[in-house]
Structure 1
C-alpha cells in the first residue's frame, strides 16, 4: 500500500540531508519532492515490515514498475505519487531508466541479503544510489555526459550517502535479513553475523554498548571509507552554479553530518540509529559553499 502524504513528509524530514531546501524556487522544490516521493515509495515497497513475504514484495514492486512505465507512455498512472511525477518528467525530461534501476535495486533486495566484497556492495549502489544523483542533476538541467567529472562525482556523493545510511541502520537491516557490511570485512575484523543482532526491546538496560568493540572498529573503518568517497565527490559542489550548487551542497553536508553522528555515538549502531544533527548539516553546508574546492572533510 502506498504511503500517504503525511508519512512521506515525515520520511523527508527524517532524511540525513535536506531533500528540497526551503530557499529553492518553488519549481525546483516541487520537482525534487515529486522525485523523492517516488523513490521513497519504491524503497517502502521493498523494505517496510508489512508482514509481506519477499515474493509478495516482488509482486508489488513489479506492479509499481508497470504503473511507473505509464508515466512515459501517456496512460494515466494509478498511483498518486506517479501522477504527481508526470509534470516533473515533462518539465525536466527525466528518463525512465533511472527509476527502473531503483526498482531493480529493491527487487535485488528480495533475493540478495549478503555481499561478499566491497566491490559487490558498490555494484548494488550502482542501482540503489547512483540513479538518484542523475535525477537530481536532471531536475536542475545540469548536463552530465558519460565519463565526465560531474557524473563521477555525483555517483561518489550518492554512493557515500547510501553507505552512511546503511551504517546507521545495521541493526534494522539485520532484522530484515539483510547485511550490507561485506562478508570479507566482517571476517577481517572478527565480527560474526550474530554480533549484528540488535538487543531485544524488552532486554534489561545496561551501560555497556550493544555493539562489540570489534563491530565498532569495523564501523569506524567503513565510515572512513564512505567519508573518503564523499570527499572525492564533494568537488561537484564547486562545478555547479546557482540553485543546483546550493541543493547539492545540502546533500553533501547531510553526508558529513551523518558521519559526525556515527562518530559521536562511538560507532554504536545496534542501540538505535545514530542521529544526524541539523546544526551539523548547516555547518557543513556553509563550509561547502564557502570552500567548494576543499576535498577533505575537516571533521
Structure 2
C-alpha cells in the first residue's frame, strides 16, 4: 500500500510499519485498547514522516517540511488532508485528543536540521531535543489525559534521554550524513577529532567519550523514570514500555564499551521486556536489572 506524501513523494505504509517495529521502544503495546493503539500509531506515522522528510527526501526539504506543516496545521483547523499519514491522525484531532503545537515543534526541529549540523555545548543539544523529542512525550501524555506539570517535566527528561541514546547509536551514520550531535565541547575535552567519527572502529579517546555520553543519558533517563509512579492504567503501561526500551538501549550501548562505530547497539526484546516488568513491580533504576 502506498499513499501520497509531501511534495508528491509516495509514503510507503509498509516502510513506516517496519520503522515502527525497528524503534528502541514499542510504539503501541499490543495489549492497549484499539483507540489508544490507533492514536499512538497515527502520532508515530506523522512524527516519523516529518523526520524522514527532513532526513531523506529528495528536493528542497525545507519547502517540503513547510508544505507538510501547512497541511497538518490546516487539518487542525478542520480541513480534509490529502496525505495519508495526516488523515490517520484526523480522528484524534477531531476528538480533541491532540494539539498542533507539539507537532509544530517537531517540524521546527527538522527545519533546524537543514542548516544546523553541529552543537557547541550539551545545553545547546538539550535545547534541540526540546524541539525534536520532548513534544512526543507531551503528545503521549495528552492521549492518556494527563495534564500535570510534574509529569510533563519528567516526560521531557525521558524523551530527551531517548533522543540522546538514539544519537549515540547512530554516531557513524550521522557523521556520514554530515551531522554531529556529540557536543563540540565534549569532543574537545576528550581530544576527539571529527574525522575519528568516520572510522570503522572507535579510537580509545572516542570510546571514553562515548562511555561518558551513554552514562549521562542513562542518568537523565533514570531521573525521569519516576514518571511511571505518577501514572495509572494504560498510560502507566505504555510509558513504561518507552522507558524500558530506553533502559535496554542503555544496556546495549554499554555492551559496546564505547565502540559504537564497530557495532550497532540494538536493544534486545527480552531485555526490554524484563525492564518493563521491573518498572511495573520494582523501583525504577538505571543500568542492568539486579538478579
- TM-score, with normalisation over the residues of structure 1? 0.91
**In 2, Cα distance between equivalents of 1:33 and 1:162:** 19
Residue 205 of structure 2 corresponds to: 214
Q: List per-residue Cα deviations over 1:274-298 (Å, max 9, x = no partner).
A: 111101100110110102x434445
2:87 to 83, 86, 90: 83
Distance 2:288 2:20 in 1: 27
1:43 aligns with 2:51: yes
Are 1:129 and 2:120 an aligned pair?
Answer: no
In structure 1, runs of 5+ residues without a counterpart are 200-209
What residue in structure 2 maps to residue 206 of structure 1? Answer: none
> Which residue of structure 1 lines up, in the alignment, with residue 115 of structure 2?
111
Match of 2:4 in 1: none
Question: 1:294 corresponds to which residue?
Answer: 284
Give the match's secondary structure for 2:264: coil
> Which of 60, 65, 68 is the equivalent residue of 2:69?
65
Q: What does residue 249 of structure 1 align with? A: 240
Once the 2 structures are TM-superposed, how far is the Cα of residue 174 of structure 1 from its aligned partner?
0.6
- Answer whether contact 1:92 1:141 (CA < 8 A) is retained: no
Contact 1:268/1:274 (8 A) holds in 2: no
Measure how far apart 1:263 and its partner are. Answer: 1.1
Pairing of 1:16-55 with structure 2 (within 5 A) = 16-48=24-56, 50=57, 52=58
Query: Structure 1 2/236 Cα, relative in aligned 2: closer, same or farther at 3 Å?
Result: farther
Question: CA RMSD, aligned part only?
Answer: 1.3
State the secondary structure of the residue aligned to 2:11: coil
Unaligned runs of 5+ residues in structure 2 are 1-8
Moved over 3 A (4+): 293-299
Instruction: Using structure 2 for the length normalisation, give the TM-score.
Output: 0.93
Following the alignment from structure 1 to structure 2, what is the Cα–Cα distance between the partners of residues 198 and 175? 10
1:282 to 2:286 alignment: no
Q: 1:142 pairs with 134, 146, 162, which one?
A: 146
